[in-house]
Amino acid sequence: MDTSTLIEVENLSKRYGKVKVIYDINFKVEKGEVVVLLGPNGAGKSTILKCILGLVKYRGNIFVDGLDAKKKGREIRRKITYIPQQFMLYPNLTVENNLKFYADIKGIARNAVSQSIEKSKLEHFTDKLAKDLSEGLRQRLMLAIAGLADSSILLFDEPTANLDLKRVLEFKDMIRAESKKEKTILLSTHLLSDVNEISENVIVVNKGKLLFRGGADDLLKKMKLKTDIILTVQENLNTKSIDTAKDLLLRAGAENVSLKDEFVIVSTESSRKISVLKSVEEAGLTIKDFRISEPNLEEAFLKITGENEE
């Protein structure tokens, strides 16, 4: 295992009875990296996190900071702050006492409790029972508990799912602050808005299969989604200029070229848009105005998961 690699997953497979839910997944998370584990509900994200923590049996190999998750699960869990989607809060304990309970079992000083309450904006809810909290407040309490330990590795399972917009923004600010401390963060989500806003490093999974690992921009390139360029040119296009322009545009990598009157509409791969624009000028046309419509992450995500469904 490379010294810069903190989490390494090799040929991970998992079955529940006769049903295979994870299929030979491989990926690495480097020290200080923030990675979004992206996939629709039921993609296998939570199971992958549980395997990393050594909470469930699996086939393959997982190493966390050099430790084998099959043999050293308890030691690994001491190194990690983990917030599952369904976090265990004690319903008949107050907000403050839930925090104190978790501080005690983790061996954390009690003064960390008051700091975590303040940081999580829970000062007005310290005496409220956990069972009486709204979903958003329950999530904030879970995040407050996560903040008690100064772990170098943070795992979050759908952390923004039940938060209102203000708390989502606060959570994302917290992630950015933790990443500046060189924490290693792996966060599962089905929300595309969490990509780029939290990190552009993404792992896409669907139906237990890893479909992609890389940057969000790389995902757009991999899916070869088209950029649409709509140009207004100075001249009205005649038959000769249309033929010349179309020929140059196609040679530059354009697809679905449409030319009429003073409009040129071109579809091309994003990486070729500059050469396409240059070819318009090479055709002797003067660009008066242009608009570029880039493909977005949602299109790429829908395409890559849709292909996996087939």
Coil, strand or helix at 262: coil
Q: Look at residue 173 in the predicted model and tell me its pLDDT.
A: 83
Give the number of other Cβ atoms within 10 Å of residue 31's Cβ.
Answer: 16
Q: In CATH, which of 3.30.470.20, 3.30.70.100, 3.40.605.10, 3.30.210.10 is domain 226-294?
A: 3.30.70.100
- Give me the pLDDT at residue 302, please: 76
> What is the separation of C-alpha 234 from the centre of its chain, rounded to a whole number of angstroms?
44
- DSSP states along 76-145: HHHHEEEE-SS----TTSBHHHHHHHHHHHTT--THHHHHHHHHTT-GGGTTSBGGGS-HHHHHHHHHHH
Q: Which helix (H) or strand (E) holds 11?
A: strand 5-16
Q: At what angle do helices 111-119 and 95-105 cross, to 10 degrees?
A: 130
Q: Determine the Cα angle at 156 with ends 299 and 76, to 5°.
A: 130
Residue-level pLDDT, tens digit, the chain, 310 residues: 566 899 999 999 999 999 999 999 999 999 999 999 998 888 999 999 999 999 999 999 999 999 999 999 989 988 898 888 777 788 999 999 999 998 887 788 888 899 889 888 899 999 999 999 887 788 788 878 877 877 889 999 988 877 777 778 877 887 888 888 888 999 999 887 777 778 879 999 999 999 999 987 787 777 777 778 887 877 666 666 677 777 777 777 777 777 777 777 778 776 677 777 787 777 777 778 878 777 667 777 777 777 666 5
Look at residue 177 in the predicted model and tell me its pLDDT. 83
Superfamily of domain 5-221: P-loop containing nucleotide triphosphate hydrolases (3.40.50.300)
**305 CB contacts (<8 Å, ≥6 apart)?**
39, 40, 204, 206, 211
Q: What is the model's pLDDT at position 209?
A: 94
pLDDT given at position 85: 75
The full set of domain ranges for the chain reads: 5-221, 226-294
- Phi and psi (nearest 5°) for 67? -95, 140
State the pLDDT at residue 235: 67
- Residue 286 identity (one-letter amino acid): T
> Cα separation of 24 and 139, whole Å?
32
Report the pLDDT value the prediction gives residue 284, as an integer from 0 to 100.
Answer: 75
Query: Sign of the C-alpha dihedral, residues 16, 21, 23, 24?
Result: negative
Confidence at residue 41, expressed as pLDDT on a 0 to 100 scale? 87
User: Quick one: which H or E segment has residue 13?
Assistant: strand 5-16
Q: Residue 3 CA to chain centroid, in angstroms?
A: 24
Q: Which residue has the tokens 């304990």?
A: 93
